Amino acid sequence: MEAFSAVFAIFSAYGANFLLGIVVAPLIYADAKKLPVLFLNTKPWFWVVCALFLGPLWTALIYWAIHHSSFSNREGVNSSGHS
């Protein structure tokens, strides 16, 4: 019974965050595959790993700010990644 309570404590602390990451990570990955160039030439899997292990909400917010917000400076980037 003691082992079960330890597992439950770990899951309640990290499990919900990881499960949310499993939902958010594929959405970020699909969007990252559509963009011609990502920040610092990162790969889409980088954002998936961040969403799973560093926190899905913070990762989604940072990803959006860098790639889709008005201060992301993506207006002059064409499909080849050059301005």
In a domain, 14, yes or no: yes
**pLDDT by residue (tens digit) across 55-72?**
899 999 999 998 888 877
In a domain, 22, yes or no: yes
List the domain range (segments joined by +) for residue 63. Answer: 2-67
**pLDDT by residue (tens digit) across 6-20?**
777 766 767 778 888
CA 2 – CA 25 distance, rounded (Å) = 33
Predicted local confidence at residue 71, as pLDDT: 74
Whether the CB-CB separation of 25 and 56 falls below 8 Å is answered with: yes
Q: What is the dihedral of CA 74, 78, 42, 20, to 10 degrees?
A: 60
In a domain, 61, yes or no: yes
In a domain, 21, yes or no: yes
83 confidence band (pLDDT: 50, 70, 90): very low
Predicted local confidence at residue 41, as pLDDT: 87
Q: How many domains does the chain have?
A: 1
